[in-house]
Amino acid sequence: MTYEIPLNFDRSQTVDPCNGMTRHQFLILLEQNNITLDESRMAEVNYYFNLWGDTLRQDNKMNKAHDFDAFIAWMKKA
């Protein structure tokens, strides 16, 4: 699944979290899903960003599909 991130001047960027994204793109996707982690709390941002990366690696080892929406739902519960 891909997501659109709005940019300046009526442009947008397509991000596929299952194929890699930057920490900044990760923060924007969280904000679009009503999860607020600002960059002043970088330890927490790094934790969840790295956890998503670990989830991708584990999914690959187990031959399972990646599910960013389920990850977001889990974050909202945590």
Helix (H, G, I), strand (E, B) or coil at 33: coil
**Residue 27 sits in which domain range?**
3-77
Residue 40: per-residue pLDDT? 76
Per the structure, the count of domains in the chain is 1
Q: What pLDDT, in 10s, does the model give residues 8-18?
A: 888 998 999 98
Give the bridge partners for 4, in sequence order: 14
What integer pLDDT is reported at residue 68 of this predicted model? 94
The Cα–Cα gap between 42 and 27 comes to 11
| pLDDT tens track for 22-75 | 998 999 899 888 988 767 788 888 999 999 999 999 999 999 999 999 999 999
Q: Which residue has the tokens 């889990």?
A: 74
Find where tokens 């670990």 sit.
54
